[in-house]
Structure 1
Amino acid sequence: SNIDTLEREIFKVLTGLGFKETDFDSPVGSFSGGWQMRIALAKLLLEKPNLLLLDEPTNHLDLEAVEWLETYLREYDRAVILVSHDRRFLDNIVNRITELENATLYDYPGNYSDFEIIKERNIETLISAQERQDKEIKKMQTFVDRFKASAHRSSQAKSRERMIDKIERVEVIKTEQTIDFRFPTPPPSGRTVITLSKLDKYFGSQHIFKVDEEIVVHKGDKIAILGGNGVGKSTLIKMLIGEEKPDAGTIEFGHNVNVGYFAQNQSDKLDMNNSIINELHDMVPHYTLTQIRCLLARFLFKNDRVFQEVSVLSGGERSRLAMAKMLLSPTNLILMDEPTNHLDLPSKEVLIKALQEFPETFVVISHDRDFIARTCNR
């Protein structure tokens, strides 16, 4: 019957998005914000609209739910338009990319990797065409300058001048430069960075996690913490920074370990009344304003924008500024909780590049497969 079919579909979507069967009858208000976003997504998928519009659908999903959503959307037989900064997700789903750049929409066939290749080729072709055109215009202008006062050839010179005026110039679209940044050189830590011994953690009567054996984090480890939502990943990070205490066991830091932390809500810790430039300068007063402006330019805060208040920035821009602050602090152990969630693709690239060059240790919670594959070794 239709009711049985609908119930099967509801079960499929809810379990695919990570809900247990025991959750089905729970009030919506009993779930956290992230899980409520999943409920909203489930409702939308079950409506099966002819046009499905999704804005960053993977932000509140764990890895397993992201992979389920990929399969679901690949098999979806209607139109889907989505905004996403998850390049692996885009590569696995889309067959067309539309880029908004300089107030113009550009359409490309294929997935995100195809788009990057085609765009690069298009830019190279335009640059070559522009160089040829500039050379031809220069040649014609030389003729005009030489003969415009000549009694015999002035008419030819004027004709060429009119031709120059009528030429439609080849323009190469200026793309936002990928941010480039190197960590300040941190003081080196000892070889053993963290030792976790027989940890136990409860929330009330709920057992969050248990570490039976000793886990040692060594200098140079780049560790990704994986697992479903609600299994205690963020709690573990909070225990490492001292915000939460284990109910049993010990956490020991090695020699000369300096900890930096990037939380999911890191941008909330910015001073909204501060200017963008002062938000960084207050942190490193020994830097000149010119140095700060150069750093901010790498994070796409350019020209007079640096004097704007933090309060006028979008959520993504605030995350980018918070990321700049984190990268500026010379720590040798960085703990990050979903650092790419609100970063656009260029901003994510700078974080990846910086972490690839980082000589010390980091631990990161992430569901971004491209980010994990390119930065982590454990």
Structure 2
Amino acid sequence: MEIVDYEVFEVSPRFQFLKLETSDGRVGWGEPVVEGRAHTVRAAIEELAEGVLLGADPFPIERHWQRMYRGGFYRGGPVLMSAIAGIDQALWDLKGKHFGAPVYELLGGKARDRVRLYSHVPAEDESPSAYAQGAASMVENGFTALKTSLNGPIRRVDAPDAIERERNRLIAIRDAVGPDIDLGIDFHGKVSKPMAKRLVVALEDVDPMFYEEPVLAEHDDALATVARHTSVPIATGERMFSRWDFKGVLESGTVDIVQPDLSHAGGITEVHKIAAMAEAYDVALAPHCPLGPVSLAACLQIDACSPNALVQEQVVHRAVDAHVLSYVENPEVLEYDFGGYVDLPDGPGLGVEIDEEALRAADGEYEWSVPSHRHDDGSVAEW
């Protein structure tokens, strides 16, 4: 058996799917993309597929991974690692289908029977009451864990009312859902070190589950400074792309939850290793996943077999992205129960069956780009 063909689909709202086909007619699916840079990643996929995959046996996944990563003089970064990630997902999907087993069974078997999900808090406007209403609706729908991002932009050193606005909104959410619901607060890397120090103190009485990306990955050396100001767990990692990127934050002892993205950080092969590294440092795993059903299915495979998996991000159950499920022929495998848990997929490979006809109908509709924000003085602000 060998890989004989590949195809890439770019679809709304910001998903890119990869199809690998073998000589015996089997198909494996991956989801390689950098949000807002889909075309760039597509070029990397084509280079890797033409140079490494076509004509090759799909089963030696580790060797393929090493060739894709080490085969070029320049390594790492979001574009290459995202291309590798989607290819890696598709290779594991093929292997699982060949052996008739979920990927997690090929990685040592399951450590749990189900995975806890969290949902993002929706809001019709930026008012505290709108966020409170949105959070309450998610709890009514069965979620026991939520996440919301700081609003912005936030200046490098901002006025007290900027902090008060965030406090009022988050207090409204906490009051609406009560003390039994976990609430993650995503700084989204939009906050400078001095403001992060102030905000982690000001928001601590909301009892957050974690503070996510309190500073950008390029300022990870500041995480220790921020962490000294709070007892709330620190989470980061969505903009780290390999085990080598995570090595420093794990060794520093300042991070409590790592959040590698299965579509950015080298795929199942690499995130499985990152999860094991984190476990050795008593750090939890909560994979980043604002993408589509293949990426989520890949996350669930890693969650299944990682003892330190904590909670799983997903957007399938947000109203704005509900049509994600239109690309899946068996959406029931991603449905959650009223406690906010999803059962492990038990189908072969990644466990999701992609509706290729729906993908072909939507192909070329990808138009998403990173929102652009500015401060009052016209300077560029972080999103």
Fold conserved (TM > 0.5)?
Answer: no
TM-score, normalising length: structure 1 = 0.28
Higher relative contact order (CA 8 A, sep 6+): 2
The TM-score, its normalising length taken from structure 2, stands at 0.28
